[in-house]
């Protein structure tokens, strides 16, 4: 009876432990990673806030074209020495024979001003601000594209680490069988001690590879968590396989693709903003015309019954400002020249990056195919050589070479698959693919 209770207690504890462990483990798909990154990644949030700042800056610029109205109200009380004054509040000074009087003055006014003409400077400033907003939106896309690359790379590393753990566990099991077979032959006097020690060392290496693979999974989980923008950590299990989707073999038109990338579009928008900035600097030489008016009164009565008003037109023409306007125009010209050079350089860089990324992807796909053939060949050879060694038709030195080749082939195939996934992610990033890419 006690034994049954003990078994039940152990069973309940085991179920609780398994449930607790599974509760700490999260099975996550690539689509979920993308969704979380779009909502929580700090770099993406920062890029969105930059757009909001530039929108606000544009509204600040626009405010110069709208009426500027200010109100003013004041109450001033003063006290001064008077002689023989009548009225008001007075106090007597017996020693001097003088009196002091307090007076309160009230001042109310409303002033308004409206810009009529400024050489279209404000209009150019608004156009420049709009281009800067467009550039910031493309910068948001560039940030999103970079996040997708980093996240996809981290996800591919996690997938590969999970697959690599399976491979190393298979290798450990095979090395153990090899060791048992060699040990049996050694005990029977058909194998020497060197072969036994080599098999034992290979088994130790296989166990080490398993432990290393487990640590690699933890590191990959940390990386995926970070690239998603999460603050906490959970043990993640990535779903999916190591298959590459972007397998197009025909060389694309890199110049055409480059024109649509967010990076190049951002540089074009910055160049356009610099053009309007130069036009604004030139417009600063024109006169500024305002219509202005005010309404108010200054009186000793708190509520005066009569108001004073005025209306007029103001013209402001810069005559000499110490060279500020000329220096500003030269600065705007230099900024435009820089923006044009950046666009040309950016276009060339994007085309080279596209070419490099596409070629790297093609090479990676070819490498996967080659490594797969090597794996299939070594698996067949290992099957035959193991049978031959077990019946004494193959010596240990030749057999272990084939076994080592099988181990290398399995590892190399996983690595090639991982590299192909990363190359695919780099190709998509070079094309400007953002976190929205997988929704297309």
Torsion angle, alpha carbons of 43, 47, 52, 55, to 10: 170
Say how far apart CA 289 and CA 313 lie, in whole Å.
7
Distances (CA, A) of 10 to 13, 18, 24, 58: 5, 12, 21, 69
Distances (CA, A) of 219 to 21, 32, 40, 101: 19, 19, 21, 85
Tokens of 188: 């029977």
Say how far apart CA 389 and CA 34 lie, in whole Å.
51
Say how far apart CA 39 and CA 113 lie, in whole Å.
45
Contact criterion met (CB below 8 Å) for 47 and 139: yes
CB-based contacts of 235, cutoff 8 Å, min separation 6: 24, 25, 26, 221
Say how far apart CA 38 and CA 431 lie, in whole Å.
19
User: What are the beta bridge partners of residue 89?
Assistant: 102
pLDDT digits (tens, 9 = 90+) for 27-79: 999 999 999 999 999 999 999 999 999 999 999 999 988 999 998 888 888 87
CB-based contacts of 395, cutoff 8 Å, min separation 6: 389
Q: What is the largest CA-CA distance in the chain?
A: 139
Task: Flag whether pLDDT at 165 surpasses 60.
Answer: yes
Task: Give phi and psi for 290, each to the nearest 5.
Answer: -125, 150
The chain-wide mean pLDDT, for the chain, equals 87
- Give the single-character DSSP code of 251: P
Contact criterion met (CB below 8 Å) for 432 and 145: yes
Sequence-ordered alpha helix ranges (H) in 74-120 = none
Question: Where are the chain's structural domains?
Answer: 29-65+117-288+321-439
86-90, 106-110, 155-159, 370-374 — which is least confidently predicted? Answer: 86-90
Helix, strand, coil shares, percent, the chain, to 5: 65, 15, 20
Q: Provide the pLDDT for residue 321.
A: 84
Sequence-ordered alpha helix ranges (H) in 101-192 = 121-187
Say how far apart CA 252 and CA 230 lie, in whole Å.
37
Torsion angle, alpha carbons of 39, 44, 48, 51, to 10: -160
Say how far apart CA 43 and CA 51 lie, in whole Å.
13
CB-based contacts of 233, cutoff 8 Å, min separation 6: 221, 222, 225
Contact criterion met (CB below 8 Å) for 273 and 349: no
Task: Flag whether pLDDT at 5 surpasses 90.
Answer: no
| pTM, to two decimals | 0.83
CB-based contacts of 296, cutoff 8 Å, min separation 6: 72, 107, 108, 109, 110, 111, 307, 308, 309
Q: In CATH, what number does 29-65+117-288+321-439 get?
A: 1.20.1600.10
pLDDT digits (tens, 9 = 90+) for 258-291: 999 999 999 999 999 999 999 999 999 999 898 9
- 97-101 long-range Cβ contacts below 8 angstroms, 24+ apart: none
DSSP helix/strand/coil, 231: coil
Q: Provide the pLDDT for residue 99.
A: 53
Average pLDDT over residues 150-170: 96
Contact criterion met (CB below 8 Å) for 333 and 278: yes
Specify the higher pLDDT residue, 302 or 212: 212
Question: How many percent of the chain have pLDDT more than 90?
Answer: 67
215-219, 245-249, 380-384, 407-411 — which is least confidently predicted? Answer: 245-249
What do you get for the CA distance between the two ends of the chain, in Å? 64
Task: Flag whether pLDDT at 246 surpasses 80.
Answer: no
Question: How many percent of the chain have pLDDT more than 70?
Answer: 88
- DSSP strand E in 14-87: where? 25-28, 68-82
pLDDT digits (tens, 9 = 90+) for 86-126: 444 444 444 444 456 788 888 888 998 998 888 899 999 99
Average pLDDT over residues 309-326: 87
Distances (CA, A) of 282 to 118, 131, 331: 11, 18, 11
């Amino acid at each position: 009876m006690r034994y049954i209770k003990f078994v039940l207690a152990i069973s309940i504890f085991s179920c609780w432990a398994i449930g607790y462990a599974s509760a700490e483990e999260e099975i996550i798909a690539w689509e979920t990673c993308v969704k979380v990154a779009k909502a929580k990644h700090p770099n993406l949030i920062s890029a969105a806030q930059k757009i909001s700042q530039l929108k606000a800056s544009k509204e600040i610029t626009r405010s110069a074209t709208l009426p500027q109205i200010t109100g003013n109200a004041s109450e001033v009380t003063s006290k001064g020495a008077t002689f023989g004054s009548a009225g008001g509040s007075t106090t007597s000074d017996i020693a001097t024979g003088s009196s002091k009087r307090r007076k309160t003055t009230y001042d109310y006014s409303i002033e308004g001003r409206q810009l009529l003409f400024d050489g279209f400077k404000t209009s150019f400033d608004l156009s420049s601000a709009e281009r800067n907003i467009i550039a910031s939106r493309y910068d948001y896309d560039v940030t999103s594209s970079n996040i997708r690359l980093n996240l996809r790379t981290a996800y591919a590393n996690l997938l590969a680490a999970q697959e690599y753990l399976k491979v190393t566990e298979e290798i450990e099991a095979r090395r153990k069988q090899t060791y048992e077979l060699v040990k049996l032959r050694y005990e029977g006097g058909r194998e020497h001690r060197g072969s036994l020690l080599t098999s034992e060392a290979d088994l130790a290496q296989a166990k080490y590879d398993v432990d290393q693979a487990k640590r690699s999974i933890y590191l990959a989980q940390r990386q995926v968590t970070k690239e998603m923008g999460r603050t906490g950590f959970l043990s993640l299990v990535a779903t999916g396989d190591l298959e590459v989707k972007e397998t197009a073999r025909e060389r694309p038109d890199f110049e055409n693709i480059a024109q649509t990338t967010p990076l190049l579009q951002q540089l074009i928008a910055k160049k356009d903003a610099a053009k309007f900035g130069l036009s604004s600097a030139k417009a600063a030489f024109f006169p500024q015309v305002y219509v202005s008016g005010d309404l108010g009164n200054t009186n000793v009565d708190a509520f005066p019954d009569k108001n004073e008003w005025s209306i007029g037109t103001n013209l402001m023409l810069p005559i000499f400002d110490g060279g500020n306007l000329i220096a500003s125009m030269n600065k705007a010209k230099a900024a435009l020249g820089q923006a044009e050079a950046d666009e040309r350089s950016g276009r060339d860089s994007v085309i080279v990056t596209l070419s490099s990324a596409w070629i790297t992807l093609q090479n990676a796909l070819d490498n996967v195919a080659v490594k797969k053939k090597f794996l299939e060949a070594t698996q067949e050879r290992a099957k035959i050589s193991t049978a031959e060694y077990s019946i004494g038709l193959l010596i240990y030195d030749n057999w272990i070479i084939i076994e080592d080749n099988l181990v290398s082939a399995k590892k190399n195939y996983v690595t090639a698959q991982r590299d192909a996934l990363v190359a695919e992610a780099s190709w998509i990033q070079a094309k400007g693919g953002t976190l929205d890419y997988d929704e297309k």
